[in-house]
A and B are shown apart, each in its own frame.
Chain A
Amino acid sequence: SAVISQKPSRDICQRGTSLTIQCQVDSQVTMMFWYRQQPGQSLTLIATANQGSEATYESGFVIDKFPISRPNLTFSTLTVSNMSPEDSSIYLCSVVTRHLGGEQYFGPGTRLTVT
C-alpha cells in the first residue's frame, strides 16, 4: 500500500473564498483521483488527476470550480473555488498502486465546512 497525506485535515471557510487541498504520496503511483463525500453519503468521483496534463472531470464537475494540478507522480492539489455551503464535504484523494488488483488507497481526507 501507499502512505498518503492530505493538508489541511480540516478547515472552515467563508462563502466566496477558495481553498486548495494538497495530497502527497510516499511513492510514485499510477493514478490519482479526487473524491467528494458529503455527510452520510458515499464517495463521488470528482476527477482523475493526470500527471503533466489537464485533469479528467466527471459529469457535474468542471475545471473552473475544481481546478486540479498534478505536477509529478507523487503530488496533486485540488482547489475548491468560490465556495458555497453546498461545498461542505469531505474531500479525499486516492491513488492506484502497481499491485495486481489495482486497488485504490485513500488519503485521510479534508473536512471542509463553508459558512
Chain B
Amino acid sequence: GQNIDQPTEMTATEGAIVQINCTYQTSGFNGLFWYQQHAGEAPTFLSYNVLDGLEEKGRFSSFLSRSKGYSYLLLKELQMKDSASYLCAVRPPNTGTASKLTFGTGTRLQVTL
C-alpha cells in the first residue's frame, strides 16, 4: 500500500514564498504529482517528478528525493488566488504512465494580505 502525508493547513502572506511538504511510504514508486484544487472546483495538474531534483514552472517548483520518500511544492511570489488545496499524489511502481494515482489528504493553503 501507499501512505502519503501532508500538513493539513498552512497560512502565508501575499508576496511570500511557501513550501508544502509531502512524504510517502510505498513499496515502490513511479512518479509523484502535485495538483491544485480551488474550493468547489476540480483538481488541476501542476507538476510531475519521477527523478530526483527540482522541476521549475514559473512561480511553482516541485522537488523530489526518492531515497527519502519526500517531495515539496514551492510557491513563490504568492498571490491571493493561490489560496487553494494542494494535493500530492503518487503513482505505484511497475504500472507505466497510464495508471491510477493515490492522493494524499491535501494541504489547505490560505494566503493573507
Contact A96 B42 (CB under 8 A): no
Contact of A92 among B42, B87, B97 (CB under 8 A): B42
Residues 92-113 of B, flagged 1 when their CB comes within 8 A of A and 0 if not, give 0000111111111110000000
Q: How far is the CA of A113 from the CA of B42 in the complex (A)?
A: 17
Q: Given A41-B105, A42-B105, A43-B87, are A106 and B43 also a contact pair (CB < 8 Å)?
A: yes
Residues 16-51 of B, flagged 1 when their CB comes within 8 A of A and 0 if not, give 000000000000000101000000011111001010
Q: Given A101-B48, A106-B44, are A42 and B104 also a contact pair (CB < 8 Å)?
A: yes
Q: How far is the CA of A44 from the CA of B2 in the complex (A)?
A: 13
Chain A residues near B102 (CB-CB < 8 A): 45
Contact A102 B31 (CB under 8 A): yes
B42, B48, B87, B99 — most chain A CB neighbours (10 Å): B42
Contact B41 A104 (CB under 8 A): no
A22 at the interface (CB under 8 A from B): no
Contact of B50 among A41, A101, A108, A109 (CB under 8 A): A101
Residues 96-115 of A, flagged 1 when their CB comes within 8 A of B and 0 if not, give 10001111111111000000
Using C-beta atoms within 8 Å of the partner chain, give the interface range for chain B: 20 to 34
Q: List 29 A-B contacts (CB under 8 A).
A: A30-B98, A31-B98, A31-B100, A41-B105, A42-B103, A42-B104, A44-B103, A45-B100, A48-B100, A92-B42, A92-B43, A96-B98, A96-B99, A100-B97, A101-B31, A101-B48, A101-B50, A101-B97, A102-B31, A102-B96, A102-B98, A103-B33, A103-B48, A104-B45, A106-B42, A106-B43, A106-B44, A108-B42, A109-B41
Interface residues of B (CB under 8 A from A): 31, 33, 41-45, 48, 50, 87, 91, 96-106
Q: A42-B106, A101-B31, A104-B33 are in contact. List 12 more A-B contacts (CB 8 A).
A: A31-B98, A33-B100, A41-B105, A43-B87, A92-B42, A100-B97, A103-B45, A105-B45, A106-B42, A108-B41, A108-B42, A109-B42
Interface residues of A (CB under 8 A from B): 1, 30-31, 33, 41-45, 48, 92, 96, 100-109
